[in-house]
Amino acid sequence: MSFTTWFTFFLAAWVIAISPGSGAVLSMSHGLSYGVKKASGTIIGLQAGLLLILAIAGAGVGSILMASEMAFNAVKTIGAIYLIYLGISQWRAKVVAAADTDLAPAQAVLPSWRKRFLIGFLTNATNPKGIIFMVAVLPQFISQSAPLLPQLLILGATMCFVDLVVMHSYAFAASAMQKYFRDPALLQKQNRFFGGILMAIGAALFFVKRNPAA
């Protein structure tokens, strides 16, 4: 892989990562609810989901999903239902008020690290738009004359590095607003706002179409 090819992918990875999506919404939601440090578990889960999609595309399974309408629709439906479920859970999430002597804001009840990781992982792993991106875009950066695995490792590391920076930036920006959410009622409204967005993204996935020519 030439430096020019890698750098082009590096720039593309920034554009894709910064573009609003379910991962960005989840990072902001958890950053605001739990703080940027605790949101790291969620963000690491997002990267694990990205790596799974990368492996699927690299193994050629992604092409099968794109070629088979039944397989693609199955993945799409699972992803859509999961995001809607996640949005409903966020909408209904409980919040606890800080003690009167504590200047900390109200906080959402913190899920375990394992659950935060799993939420992030499933959010990306069940996203058919991610599969479309990998299958349609990734081959353009793969050299047929060089071994596949080293190239996938380089692209995967690049993609995860960029996404880690961007998602932590989203979480940090959101966590900076925690001090404005001392009232549990405001935090509840925040939960419903992000929950509504996740449900909307999930509903929009039902309208994602595969490209038979991919």
The answer to whether position 35 is within a domain reads yes
Q: DSSP for the chain, please give it.
A: --HHHHHHHHHHHHHHHHS-SHHHHHHHHHHHHH-HHHHHHHHHHHHHHHHHHHHHHHTTHHHHHHH-HHHHHHHHHHHHHHHHHHHHHHHT--EEPPPTT--SPPEEPPPPHHHHHHHHHHHHHT-HHHHHHHHHHGGGG--TTS-HHHHHHHHHHHHHHHHHHHHHHHHHHHHTTGGG--SHHHHHHHHHHHHHHHHHHHHHHTT----TT-
Q: Domain for residue 2, yes or no?
A: no
Q: Is residue 214 part of a domain?
A: no
Q: Is residue 9, in this structure, part of any structural domain at all?
A: no
Q: What is the total count of domains within the chain?
A: 1
Q: What's the pLDDT tens digit per position in 138-169?
A: 777 777 778 878 888 999 999 999 999 999 99
Q: What is the mean pLDDT of residues 177-190?
A: 69
pLDDT of residue 102: 44
pTM as predicted: 0.73
Domain assignment of residue 1, yes or no: no
Residue 155 sits in which domain range? 22-205
